[in-house]
Structure 1
């Protein structure tokens, strides 16, 4: 897919999408965007030096089961999809007047992406071992220093994250969509793998030679 104008990078939280997307965008000279900025949904439930967890976000993770949390975020992604589709179409059109785009985010659900008819568009999903995701999330949240109530919020977010990836893997397998395993790879190596997959794709998300 040498004439690619849009590269979609999906995957669960803490799989390395943002880092990979920035690297790929830099190499291609494309704009880099995230689906997280298109609409709000309760995000990561841990504080940072410049941000406190809002009460409604804490209540969201404290009160819902992992199934309810997963249904909630998938419903959010379904509602967001028309905006994503419009954004992809605008950048994919050769005569649209816009430059290339690398778009990353968990909202890039396999079924919707696989049904895209936009030209010059490629898609790759990043996956990671559950232990890698857990370690990254606990390091970022400062898990070991959190109070018990704060840890429970992180635990709920982690459970949703892992459930999302399990469902995503099922949706990738049947149509043979491209994915890159990030475990043991540097960010540069992940970007290399994404670009290699993009180069071989014949239709959105699928290698021209069939499933790997």
Structure 2
């Protein structure tokens, strides 16, 4: 089960709920390799100075180019995780209650065209999105944007601009493949979004 989308679309929360529901292992592409992520503190991470400098000094085109190069380097590892999980699942039922035969993989490094090219049986992908207004409000709230001095807002501005451009590129790819995305900014709680994801990928009777 693959869940893609740009930052702050709710991937991590929805993926955790889906993984718990399915009894699958949960892996985030953000954990596979380091790349400048959110330039504000997280519960388990304080961004080093070079992260803020990355967003403060690079142009939007340079930020996108650096992100795409990072994602390109992750492709082999992502493909390995997907094919490995599909192979384990197709091997039959788990041998014990502690076995976790399936995988929920979430992250912004998942690209629709790459996933489509893999064409791995037993794999489903859902793409999450939200409006510019919703993403802006979420990032401003999470970072305490309006309490910061102007200079400290610049890295957040850069991260937001990169995220919005990334979403446009990703959803354009989704559209070209004839797929749709799930809007996570319509007020539904995470539990309802997780149920929608599970329903969207459930096998349909022929």
Give the alignment's TM-score, normalised by structure 1: 0.87
Determine the structure 1 residue equivalent to 2:160.
158
CA distance in 1, matches of 2:44, 2:200: 38
| Paired position in structure 2 for 1:148 | 150
SS in 2 for 1:115: helix
What is residue 34 of structure 2 aligned with on the other side? 40
For residues 166 and 145 of structure 1, what CA distance do their matches in structure 2 show? 29
Q: Shift in Å at residue 147 of structure 1? A: 1.9
1:81 paired residue among 75, 81, 94: 75
Q: Deviations 1:127-166 (Å, cap 9, x if unpaired)?
A: 1111111111111111111122211110110000001001
- Does the 8 Å contact 1:124/1:177 carry over to 2? no
The whole-number CA distance in structure 1 between the counterparts of 2:28 and 2:91 is 23
5+ residue gaps, structure 2? 95-99
Q: How far 1:95 moved relative to its partner?
A: 2.4
| Structure 1 residue 49, shift from structure 2 partner | 6.9
Instruction: Report the counterpart of residue 56 of structure 2 in structure 1.
Output: 62
CA distance in 1 between partners of 2:13 and 2:45 (Å):
22
- Which runs of structure 2 are paired with 1:108-119 in the superposition (5 Å)? 108-119=110-121
CA RMSD of the aligned region, Å?
2.0
Q: 1:195 to 1:51 in 2, by over 3 A?
A: closer
Q: How many residues align?
A: 197
Q: 1:93-108 to 2 correspondence within 5 Å?
A: 93=87, 94-95=90-91, 99-108=101-110
Determine the structure 2 residue equivalent to 1:193. 196
CA offset at residue 200 of structure 1?
A: 5.0
Between the aligned partners of 1:200 and 1:156, the Cα distance in structure 2 is: 41
Query: Which contiguous aligned blocks of 4+ residues in structure 1 show a shift greater than 6 angstroms?
Result: none
Change over 3 Å in CA distance of 1:51–1:194 after alignment to 2: closer
Gaps of 5+ in 1: 1-6, 202-207
Q: Residue 189 and residue 50 in structure 1: after superposition, are their counterparts in 2 closer, same or farther (change >3 A)?
A: closer
> Structure 1 residues 48, 88: CA separation in 2 closer, same or farther (over 3 Å shift)?
closer
**Could you state the TM-score of these two structures normalised by the residue count of structure 2?**
0.89
Deviation at 1:60, TM superposition (A): 0.9
Q: Cα offset for 1:71? A: 1.4
